[in-house]
Structure 1
Amino acid sequence: MIYRIEDIEAKELLPGFSGRFVHGENSTLAFWDIKEGAALPAHSHHHEQTSQVLEGRFELTVNGESRIYEPGTVVVIPSHAEHSGRALTDCKILDTFCPAREEYK
């Protein structure tokens, strides 16, 4: 199946986090538009997650270690790792989750 990202209906799952989702059998791609100052509360899940900053600056804390991510950086968040963050600027981020995020469908 082929998708055009701009044709996918956006869903605001958290204040300031608007996502467009593509689901495969075993993975989910999440294309996020995040408003400056939006906060991601600390959480964990059984999914392995990779996050790539496409635009902007995002501070991410994984297992207590905080770093600032900018375009061209990718972070792998292991299953069950606690993570949180906040957008330092407006951001575009691509997350990949394995297995698929059923609750995002």
Structure 2
Amino acid sequence: MSDTLTQTHRSETFVHASEAPVEDLEPGIKRQILTYGPNLMLCRLWFDSGVAGTVHQHPHSQISYIESGRFRAMTGGKEQELVAGDSVAITPDTDHGITCIEAGSLLDIFNPVREDFLGGGN
């Protein structure tokens, strides 16, 4: 990774959630990019009840940690219900998605950084 990319794709050392922007991804889903460096990114997402994220895949490793609410997570052809304190590990290039059963929030951790998020993509 070039030095320019490393310097460009880095958040402040300390990030206060109250100061980080929140974006509407699609109806019923909001995302906040909390902090990131070239090899790691942390995001918070909020889901309204009944909203399903699009099943997708990407070349990043991902861990999702449920902060609140109730979700049905799918990855690699397996599904499981998750509540606050639960998590799911998603391997690169694996179809995955999540459906919100009861409104809540989760933290997503990605390796490496999701450059597409920094450019305003989903």
TM-score, length-normalised on structure 2? 0.82
Residue of 18, 33, 36 corresponding to 2:46: 33
Aligned residue type for 2:28: G
What RMSD over aligned residues (CA atoms) do the two structures have, in Å? 1.0
- Residue 15 (structure 1) shift: 2.3
Counterpart secondary structure, 1:66: strand
Residue of 51, 71, 88 corresponding to 2:84: 71
Q: Which runs of 5+ in 2 are unaligned?
A: 1-12
Q: Tell me the equivalent position of 1:6.
A: 18
Q: Which runs of 5+ in 1 are unaligned?
A: none
| Larger Rg belongs to | 2
Higher helix share: 2
TM-score, length-normalised on structure 1? 0.94
Aligned residues: 105
- Residue 7 (structure 1) shift: 1.2
Q: Which has the higher contact order (CA 8 A, sep 6+)?
A: 1
Deviations 1:57-76 (A, max 9, x none): 01011111110011111111
- Residue 19 (structure 1) shift: 0.8
